[in-house]
Amino acid sequence: MSDIDPTYRRYADGDSEHYDWDSDVINQGESYLCPTYIQRTPPCQNACPSGHDIRGWLSIVRGLDKPQGDKPWQAYAFERMTLANPFPAIMGRVCPAPCQEGCNRNSLDGYVGINSIEQYIGDWAREHQLAFAKPETESGKRVAIIGGGPAGLAAALFLRRLGHRSTIYEAHSALGGQMVFGIPGYRIPRHVLEHEIQRILDVGGIDVQLNSRVGSEVKVEELEQAYDAIFWSVGTVVGKPLRVAGGEAPNCVDGMTFLKAFNEGSLKYLDGRILVIGGGDTAMDVAAVAKRIGEVAGLDAAERPDAVFDGSGRQREEQTARRADSDCWLVYRRPIAKAPCTKHELEACIAEGVEIHDSLAPLEVVLDERGRARALKVQPVDWSSGKMEANGEPFEIECALIVAATGQTGDYDGIDGIANQWNQIDAERSMQVKDRQGHFAGGDAVIPHLLTTAIGHASVAVEGIDKYLRDLEFDDRPKVEGHHFDLLQELAEKELSPDEYNHGPTWGTNSAKWSVHNFENRAEADVIKSHALYTGHFSYEPVNARQEMDVNVSNVLGSMIERFSCLNEETAVTEAKRCMSCGFCFECDNCVIYCPQDAVFRVKKGERAMGRYVETDYFKCVGCHICKEVCPTGYIEMGLGQY
């Protein structure tokens, strides 16, 4: 290793706290405890709102969990990852990846590039026209899905896998929700999104009613009569206005109106300085779009952006040849370091020429003689005391357009009894709407968050809907949600399922064929932390990062290229091998090599499966704890023999 590479140790300089002595019971190299193999949830999965079995499909990518027959490993990984999230090519591009923030490898040399591998698998699946399997049975039940965004589309697929049919009622002219009307096309290429949506619809049994707004064109009472259950995934499609005096000016709009006009193709350029108010991802998207579409001087009233927003005017394509770099300011009332946006999106906006003006609280929109905004009056503020305090004299910032990206809300006009006082839907842990039997909800309608959060809600809601349709009680939700690796399913795929247990008295369970010996699944209750790993096993391996396109202030105008290029097969596999397989065996052989009694041995080759690589001969084991100490993943615990 070079001098700059880190050295990984179990103990750092100055460590003085001992571990729990109740578990350190070794006496002269022996104890009454023997190793047992315990599956726990890795922190990447725990941090993923859709509950991806990330460790599971990374094991496929790296070649540990091999598909049967001649199935390509990419197809096998695609099948595993889309159990939780049917949009791998989209999520790999735009998800801010809380899974990577949770990755235990952050304590070593940096997180595993989960998003980049997901994008590779998603793009490979699209290029090779992979499809979702059709259901084997039909339940005869039908569910109305209100809203065709990520939650609604995911719910339709998850319901179909259980044999239930559905109809999606979408108020807009296309499916996709925020993925199509909110997030700009250079971040979500429309042909990629359309493919992943169509793949869901191709499963069959999913009807779509576009331009059908529930509450006006369709009444809730009609749906209750026609369907066995209802899933609300209406999202938050209405942007919140700037709540200061003068905020009703025609050239003051919300972020959702701005992005929808751009994504529909009607907003092609600006006409002067734009002020973007806010510090979230929507604000970053608005600012980035403003830099890309530029501005055109000398527009008549019918071509100004506000005429586009209210439908009274139209912008001409031929004017785009006259575009110049736009003057875009981001105004945020807190220090920009406290902004909730994804860090990379902020950095990209700055590189593309967006001016950041933070610690400025909007006071008033200053109007001209025609009632249009000509400036924003702001108050410099200081947050060092923990609360906002005035810090200097107010001043005006001249502008031609103000976009308030300060939050969104739902549209429940004509719909009674669903939304609460904050215009959100109260849902129980099963995602059933509170005090509304047969109604379930998910996505931004419940809590505005990430696309993958909406998909996670859909997964939980569909479990609840299925129980409701089958007249079953709702079970308590597990402490750790997610699509956890299922060893029995893995054994079944490899035709290694245990024999059926006769549930009678028996002897010799250690050699019986109906039991998966010495294995415990604690994934629904326990998340494994980095201190439980033997990180000294891992060498320094820098991340195989996606190449970022050089979009900057000099070339951003008119640029609609994606910011990141995709990994290739080699780099995707190499990056997957950086996964430490936290809480699960990855077949490193340490326990076999270091066992002084030869008590730990590999399972016979024809009987192996992911998670069943080693076993222990308990007649030989003396409980020395060495296998546990050298297990890199924390999969081994000394527990057998403890009462």
What distance in Å separates the CA atoms of residue 304 and residue 272, rounded to the nearest whole number? 10
The per-residue pLDDT for 13 is 80
What is the identity of the amino acid at 88? P
What distance in Å separates the CA atoms of residue 206 and residue 154, rounded to the nearest whole number? 11
Q: Are strands 636-640 and 34-39 parallel, antiparallel or unpaired?
A: antiparallel
Contact assessment for residue 419 and residue 235, using Cβ atoms and an 8 Å cutoff? no
CATH fold of the domain at 20-40+486-522+584-643: Alpha-Beta Plaits (3.30.70)
The per-residue pLDDT for 509 is 67
Q: How many CA atoms lie within 13 A of 436 on its CB side?
A: 23
Average confidence (pLDDT) over 264-271: 97
Judge whether residue 642 has pLDDT over 90: no
The per-residue pLDDT for 6 is 56
Q: Are strands 360-367 and 206-209 parallel, antiparallel or unpaired?
A: unpaired
The per-residue pLDDT for 590 is 97
The per-residue pLDDT for 517 is 77
Judge whether residue 643 has pLDDT over 50: no
Average confidence (pLDDT) over 605-611: 91
- Which of 293, 263, 281, 274 lies closest to 345 in space, CA to CA? 281
The per-residue pLDDT for 514 is 77
DSSP 49-92: TT---HHHHHHHHTTSSPPSTT--HHHHHHHHHTTT-S-HHHHH
Q: What are phi and psi of 155, to 5 degrees?
A: -60, -40
Task: Answer with the residue of higher pLDDT: 26 or 2.
Answer: 26
- Which of 356, 448, 351, 348 lies closest to 406 in space, CA to CA? 448
What distance in Å separates the CA atoms of residue 284 and residue 280, rounded to the nearest whole number? 7
Write the pLDDT tens digit of every residue in 128-176.
999 999 999 999 999 999 999 999 999 999 999 999 999 999 999 999 9
Task: Give pTM, 2 decimals.
Answer: 0.93
Contact assessment for residue 118 and residue 91, using Cβ atoms and an 8 Å cutoff? yes
Average confidence (pLDDT) over 571-597: 97
Write the DSSP symbol of residue 46: H
Question: To which residue do tokens 């949830």 refer?
Answer: 41
What are the extents of the domains in the chain?
20-40+486-522+584-643, 142-237+410-469, 239-406
What distance in Å separates the CA atoms of residue 330 and residue 406, rounded to the nearest whole number? 12
Q: Place 384 in a pLDDT band, splitting at 50, 70 and 90.
A: very high
Q: Which residues in 147-227 belong to E strands, given as ranges?
A: 165-169, 206-209
Average confidence (pLDDT) over 119-123: 98
Within 97-165, where are the H helices? 98-102, 114-127, 150-161
Say if 20-40+486-522+584-643 and 239-406 have the same CATH topology: no
Write the DSSP symbol of residue 144: E
Average confidence (pLDDT) over 490-517: 79
Judge whether residue 21 has pLDDT over 60: yes
Mean pLDDT, rounded, of the chain: 93
CATH fold of the domain at 142-237+410-469: FAD/NAD(P)-binding domain (3.50.50)
Write the pLDDT tens digit of every residue in 427-476.
999 999 999 999 999 999 999 999 999 999 999 999 999 999 999 999 88
What distance in Å separates the CA atoms of residue 466 and residue 519, rounded to the nearest whole number? 30
The per-residue pLDDT for 24 is 67
Q: Place 529 in a pLDDT band, splitting at 50, 70 and 90.
A: very high
Taking 3-state DSSP, the helix, strand and coil percentages for the chain, each rounded to the nearest 5, stand at 30, 15, 55
Judge whether residue 637 has pLDDT over 60: yes
Work out the widest C-alpha separation in the chain, in whole angstroms: 93
Average confidence (pLDDT) over 58-62: 97
Q: Place 1 in a pLDDT band, splitting at 50, 70 and 90.
A: very low
- Tell which CATH architecture fits domain 239-406: 3-Layer(bba) Sandwich (3.50)
Record the tokens describing residue 171, joined without a space: 């108020």
Average confidence (pLDDT) over 352-356: 98
Q: Place 16 in a pLDDT band, splitting at 50, 70 and 90.
A: confident
What distance in Å separates the CA atoms of residue 618 and residue 261, rounded to the nearest whole number? 69
For residue 354, how far is the Cα from the chain centroid? 27
Contact assessment for residue 571 and residue 124, using Cβ atoms and an 8 Å cutoff? no
Record the tokens describing residue 149, joined without a space: 């965004």
The per-residue pLDDT for 105 is 95
Judge whether residue 530 has pLDDT over 60: yes
